[in-house]
Structure 1
Amino acid sequence: MKEDFLHYIWKFKKFNILDLKTQQGESLTIIHAGQYLELSGPDFFNAQIMIENQKWAGNVEIHIKSSDWYAHHHEKDDAYDSVILHVVWEHDTEIFRKNNTEIPVLELKNVVDTSILNNYQSLIAPKSWIFCEKQISQVDDFVLKNWQERLFFERLERKSKAIFELLTQTNQDWEAVLFCLLAKNFGLNTNGEIFFKIAQSIPFATVRKESFEVENLEALLFGTAGLLDTEKEDNYFKDMKFRYFYLLHKYQLEKYSIEPVQFFKHRPDNFPTIRLSQLANLYHSQQNLFSNISVLKSLQSCYDLFQITSSEYWNTHYQFDKVSPKKKKSLSKSFIDLIVINTIIPIQFTYFKSIGKEVSEDFINLLKEITPEKNSIIDKFSSFGITSKNAFDTQTLLQLKNEYCNQSKCLQCSIGTDLLKNK
């Protein structure tokens, strides 16, 4: 038995509410269960009940046992002085306020239908991956679709918090924030955080000024990444190194110590040298990138905007001083899809939220144009009968797994409550 199950029982009145009596033998009528805010203090705020002929308004606290009140030291906390009803699964001791008046208690174990309890115990049976893996395919499609929209916007809200923090750090410079987010995206999982630190350590005012000469942008990125710290005979490498130290002196920049970028386990097209060159070329070709990104609505317009390549040197190299067969290094559609999912949509969402503009459907429609992501989480859901048609589906499943399944929040999940109700 867990308290979140009792919260669910109380919130949705999943028990026999007729002829209720407190443990003190007084009649009890529930007018309003209160608001479940998940804040510190009592569990439900602003509840309304009738005890005998007296109406009470205040808060409700819920525990497995009455004695948990003392185990949690609520008798010492002024926040619990306003509790008008103590709801418990099992009543094992009387509870008193500081003024020595007894708090009425409602015991639930004898008024909850056994089918609800059986469904709950089945739902939280020992899991191998998620609790409901054997039942999730039974969830009503209408419930699932509505829950997916909620999950999607929860995910965007979480990402927007980090973007708003970046805006504060950059004095509300949307272009500077976009540069950091794109850098992280270009670094993928392995180099994402390193690329992000690289972008943060270069003042965006410097990026703006030097964007007209792509070699200078590349030198700044390569140098900050520590890729120019050695000595090589390659003329391009020597030129990059000369430019980097010239720019450090010109702008009085500090030489930051950032952990080394990783080449290991990357396909050559994802080598940090290639991705940093492509990022430099993007900012060389797009002088007002945020303005252009903020108006994108279709996937094709995203593909058009990101039609960039690495610099010519990298057509015959993946690393400095090592010649490779000639190949033009363009951004693939699948890579641009990741940019749309992880950068374009989150920064658009945050921007439009900041100006009070509602364009929620546009984000959903854009994601539905993108093929579903491929990873172990999506594959596992598919094995349970939850298939993904597009990136909207996969993004919602990632949110579901990470924020609900992994944290055992079954009773705060529409899938869990639907299974509990209908099983």
Structure 2
Amino acid sequence: MVRSLASRLLVVVLAAGCGVSGPSHATSDGPTMDTSGPITYAAGPDLTGYVHPLVDKWNALHPAEKVTLLELPAAADDQHAQMVTNLQAKSDRYDVLNIDIIWTAEFADSGWVIPLDRRQFPLDQFLKPVVDTGEFGGKLYGVPYTSNAGLLYYRKDILDKAGKRPPKTWAELRQLAKTVAPKYGLEGYAGQFLPYEGLTVNFAEAVQSAGGTILTDDGTKVAVNSPQARQGLDFLVQGFREGWIPKRALTFKEEESRAEFQDKKLLFLRNWPYVYGLVSRPGSKVKNDFGVTLLPGEDGPGSSSLGGANLAVSAYSKHQRTAIAFIKYLTSLENERVALTQGSFPPVWARLYDDPTLIKHFPYLPVLKNSILAAKPRPVSPNYNQVSLAISNAVSGALSFRQTPDAAISQMAGDLGSVITNR
């Protein structure tokens, strides 16, 4: 999902008693406080229990540089709020930050994390699109740790009965959703269409899959007022208007849409790789009846939005040398394998997606690799939260027929222009 199973929750940040030290901005590629010692790793909750053993192993090998795992709230928004409050206070409480890839630009632009020497990390062994998510202004600020990309889940048993192949284009998806789905008592298609980050992702994928973009690559200009963006929005609006996307999908986030598919109510579902493990479990109604493929696009396979997490070093950490060494440790080939096999997080090392043993246990890996390679980051901006809000608000208006697609695109372009101008 957008931030590896994140949900929404409110948190109050307690900053009292936090020490303050370190520079306000890093000025070189590497540690500005080049010392070793105990550090704190701030990350979301270790829901699968794979992180604690990795930390214990590090601590056994580095008794003078022990790592304390600080588990933040489950909700991505609340992790962001807690980190930002800490960093704005120039607190040295956090050393290594596990950040959503969409926060990299904001944290780098604000001087909260230091630039890193790319030569210290095996970036040439990582999938190229995930490396790009750690860069800002030509420098590396985040080391890729996990990745993610959207997939199209489909009822293989139903398509087999109908003598049909999984769709590669929007036209094929629309046709199958309109004709095959009702024949077998199913709804056609769903994604995540509640006005939140998931809707921004679904819209961005539609725009990319039509050959367009929302902002320019450097995030300095609005590019959404284009025929391609209108095509992407029209595709989604058409689904709701014609009924092959059910109206109730306007309330769907990741889990609601996953439940609909798992309960045999949908022919097609756009969602993240985590869904594969859940719908494959014993007791799942579709355990042996589904498949996955690339998202369809205007003229062929489409383009997903990238998800995942990067590891960054706080500009206010007192022990940045240890922080960098711990990032090297977590992103090693061995521990990336652990993140996949025990944590179910898509890794960043390219070779793991081609490992026959892993593919046997995670059959979606080849499709996911292709999805990541064709994926693009969401709009890059230090003010990403405002960018996302402008997108989801406008798209929601079009999907619920409160305004025309043209009006929604015009509103979005104007709002995005204001966000960029007010940086």
TM-score, structure 2 as length reference: 0.21
Structure with the higher helix share, 1 or 2: 1
TM-score, structure 1 as length reference: 0.21
